[in-house]
Amino acid sequence: MKKSNKFASLLILFIVLGMMLTACGSKTDGGSTATSTDASETTGTSTSGESTSSDGVKYTYHTYTTALGNNWNPHTWETNADDAIQGYISSPLVDISIEDSENAIYQWVYEMATSVTDVTAEHQDDLEKYAVVLPEGQTAADTTEGYVFEIKLNENAKWEDGTVINADTYIYSMQQLLAPDMHNYRANNYLTGESAIAGALAYYNSGSPIINPVVAAYGEGEPDYSFDTESGDYKILVNLSSNDMTVSSYSFYDIAGYGYIDSTALDTLNASANAYGYVEVTDDNVETIAGLMDNYLSAFGASVYNEDGTLSDVYKEFLFYDTGEKSEVVSYDDTVGVYKVDDYTIRYVVETYIDLNYMLSALTSNWIVHEATYEAGKDTTGELVTTDYGTSKETSMAYGPYRIESLQEEKQIVFVRNENWYGYETDADGNLVSYTDFEVDGETKQQYLTDKVVIDVMQDDAAKQAFLKGELDEWSLQSDDALTYATSDQLYKTDLTYNYRLFFHTNLDSLKTMDESKGNTNSVVMSNSKFREAFSLSIDRAEFVTATPGWKPSYGILNNLYYYDAFNDPESSYRASEQAMEAICRLYGVEYGSGTAYADVTAAYESITGYNLTQAQQLMKEACEELVAAGLYTEGEDIVIRMGWKKAALDSADQNQVALLNKYINAAAEGSGFGTITLEAIDNVEDRYGDVEAGEYAIGWGAWGGAAFYPFTMFRVYCDPDYTDIHEQGCWNPAVETLTINVDGTDVTKTWQEWSNSMTGTGDYSTADFDTKLDILSSMEEEYLKLYYCIPIAGMTDVTMLSYKIGYYTEDYNIMYGFGGLRLLQYNYTDAEWADFLATGELSYD
């Protein structure tokens, strides 16, 4: 549903995206290993040694996590910890592995599928049957690719109990995933996005109540529902627990967590919520709800009631109404574009065009569930059906290379080989072994050498000690430790797509409030764009990244890990494109060509440091003069600006970073007329993103990342409040403000939100060539950076120590296949040999 923007100017919460993609580099120049909460990405396989323990286990991979998952049902999982468990007990339809490690060449490999073919030309009737969305002016008869995909299934696939997996398994599982009487959380992966299934949304909403917001989206027009609380002529709903359904994107429980409302009263109200999370406003609870909300809204200068006693529009933005209607009831078979062809063939019809490579990428996950176990766990007593599938060893069923052997909640989970996985065979000694059915570096390789995986729950300090004693096979380092072990041969660094930046709240009225009651002094200076630009130019990014080992300077929204045609051209880095380099050169005023210091755009771009103290000082002087002239600042007064820095306590790296920022900004302010500027980092902030948007802080510190293989979607996180809650909501309204871009010789004007969606789905430029898309994306990046609503500073890295016991298949990390993964993990010692080695003395990783 859409959100209104009246209250959004006061408050919007960001929900952090969970998908993190890493990128290239070797062990010494930015290679990678996965984090302890996603061990399936860090593991792999190899051969070494002959010792075998009495229980048949020769190689155990021992890792850790700070929290175990508690729900790995593929239809409802939520956290990375949940997903990590799925990684061991399931197999994707397709996967990516190494073809040529020396030349960093990847290959698609088939797992639960044996082939995926684009059959759109042969099945154009499916486009009409399942109501796919074609570009304007295009008909089904004109469409020959990108919509209908035939998936041949692995005929050897079985569940761990021996039950056959076939086309019926896939269709049953998709019916359950999209079931309108379940409303499963992970259905969203198939309802929207590039691989959305045609007809899936209609089936998901089949027969569901139609609930609309009282206030029209973005305040357009009048509220489309009238109610009279005095006469009782209303049927109004509030959503107490769902981040997705509350207009502000805060749930009432989030609000209670901030201390604004009474959580006990909230629990009482929530007990009457329906299955969709809504509570009806009644004569009995209307004053309670209004009172709770009034306490909250008053913190932002708003109220439930207007001066004349009527309900305010701001309050109404939290309200919904049940239209009394329900969505049309439709059947799965007639509506949803995933259907059975024969016992081992299904077809998948997408809602909008998708390239075959991106379709294969979407199929690197799976949606199937074991029918008998899924049904046995169902609870039909509520308005919506639920199941306990995938919440314990007993309610799980594996179909991947491993199964759950034991699980102690919040203590440990152990995986052992799944004897019924299709990839295993029995060797002459009766042991389960597996070999690739594709060549790696020109030959078949033994894969999944690991016999057992043990994951213990422990915090970082305990993990460090366990690793140094040889009890863990990997350890994710904190900042101080990264310095200690910087020269270790076992240290692996991997660049990440995540770009850290300072993001701002620039609304003048909010800044005045921060100065009056939020601990700031003269933070109104943040409303001046020259002040913000000067701040950016004052930052010596090359020095700044030394405060956090492994980080790299960043000058743009997207770093060098984004690829616009990754599947066809591994060199297609967005950052290395002529358009992207030109955008940053224009931003920083660096010229190239005849009569300049740089012969071409590459040389000019590579010269950029983002640091220009002379220009920063001039801009600071101009900013001071403008603020004084506007009556917003008195020359010479000190400035204090509180920054929402992090959820945890500040560590030494944080303190070093903040000290450098203070040094930089005061160097820029020298001689400008500004007094001393103090940037105060606030730690233990539960939600710094939402707090900056809400006007609690003028500055926040955080990172965006992900979507490395399709950078054209990246600006949705800055510009599309329908997609996610944007951090810079306290600066502007991208749904209203416009941008003009010259596209193929024609000036085109759209809102920023429209531009952010123009290259995806059915957007105007979704099928444009890459040059056109690069023109649009680079123009958006340049113009957005010129607003200085955020300042990119540094790219993140993952820093991990690897035990001497194990080794990656390749030392050269590649964004497509990592280091080879669990499939190709190598062992330098068997379990018995490692125990003998540890008995000889202490380990040293220095």
Q: Which residue has the tokens 């309050």?
A: 315
Contacts of 298 (CB under 8 A, 6+ apart): none
Structure tokens at 322: 């049940």
E-strand ranges in 147-304 read 148-153, 209-213, 236-239, 278-281
- DSSP-assigned states of every residue in 218-232: GG-SS-S---BTTTT
pLDDT of 7 reads 31
- C-beta separation of 4 from 216 below 8 A: yes
User: What value does the mean pLDDT take over residues 484-511?
Assistant: 91
Which DSSP letter does residue 272 get?
Answer: T
Alpha-carbon distance 130 to 79, whole Å?
32
pLDDT over threshold 80, residue 23: no
253 or 711, higher pLDDT: 711
Best-predicted range by mean pLDDT (218-222, 306-310, 440-444): 440-444
pLDDT of 218 reads 41
pLDDT over threshold 70, residue 21: no
pLDDT of 698 reads 97
Alpha-carbon distance 92 to 109, whole Å?
10
Alpha-carbon distance 158 to 167, whole Å?
12
CATH superfamily of 108-205+330-387: Dipeptide-binding Protein; Domain 1 (3.90.76.10)
Amino acid code (one letter) for 462: A
pLDDT of 35 reads 26
Q: What is the mean pLDDT of the chain?
A: 86
CATH superfamily of 497-713+789-796: Dipeptide-binding Protein; Domain 3 (3.10.105.10)
- Give the least confident one: 161-165, 221-225, 769-773, 775-779: 221-225
User: What value does the mean pLDDT take over residues 230-245?
Assistant: 57
CA angle, 95 as apex, 92 and 98 as ends, to 5°?
Answer: 155
Per residue in 812-828, pLDDT (tens digit) is 888 889 999 999 999 99
pLDDT of 189 reads 85
Residues of the chain with CATH 3.40.190.10: 25-90+406-494+800-839
pTM equals 0.73
pLDDT over threshold 80, residue 198: yes
pLDDT of 290 reads 77
Per residue in 617-640, pLDDT (tens digit) is 999 999 999 999 999 999 999 999
pLDDT of 26 reads 27
Alpha-carbon distance 752 to 735, whole Å?
6
Q: For residue 34, what pLDDT band results from cuts at 50, 70 and 90?
A: very low
Alpha-carbon distance 452 to 418, whole Å?
10
Q: For residue 100, what pLDDT band results from cuts at 50, 70 and 90?
A: very high
Alpha-carbon distance 199 to 187, whole Å?
13
Q: For residue 227, what pLDDT band results from cuts at 50, 70 and 90?
A: low
531 or 291, higher pLDDT: 531
Q: For residue 799, what pLDDT band results from cuts at 50, 70 and 90?
A: confident
pLDDT of 31 reads 27
- C-beta separation of 567 from 765 below 8 A: no
Contacts of 282 (CB under 8 A, 6+ apart): none
CATH superfamily of 25-90+406-494+800-839: Periplasmic binding protein-like II (3.40.190.10)
Q: For residue 47, what pLDDT band results from cuts at 50, 70 and 90?
A: very low
pLDDT above 90 covers a percentage of the chain that reads 62
Alpha-carbon distance 32 to 812, whole Å?
9
Per residue in 698-715, pLDDT (tens digit) is 999 998 887 788 899 899
pLDDT over threshold 60, residue 561: yes
Q: For residue 135, what pLDDT band results from cuts at 50, 70 and 90?
A: confident
- Give the least confident one: 392-406, 475-489, 557-571: 475-489
pLDDT over threshold 50, residue 738: yes
Residues of the chain with CATH 3.90.76.10: 108-205+330-387
Alpha-carbon distance 708 to 21, whole Å?
7
Contacts of 271 (CB under 8 A, 6+ apart): none
Alpha-carbon distance 363 to 358, whole Å?
9
pLDDT of 281 reads 80
Q: Which residue has the tokens 């200085």?
A: 788
pLDDT over threshold 70, residue 767: yes
538 or 816, higher pLDDT: 538
User: What value does the mean pLDDT take over residues 465-483?
Assistant: 88
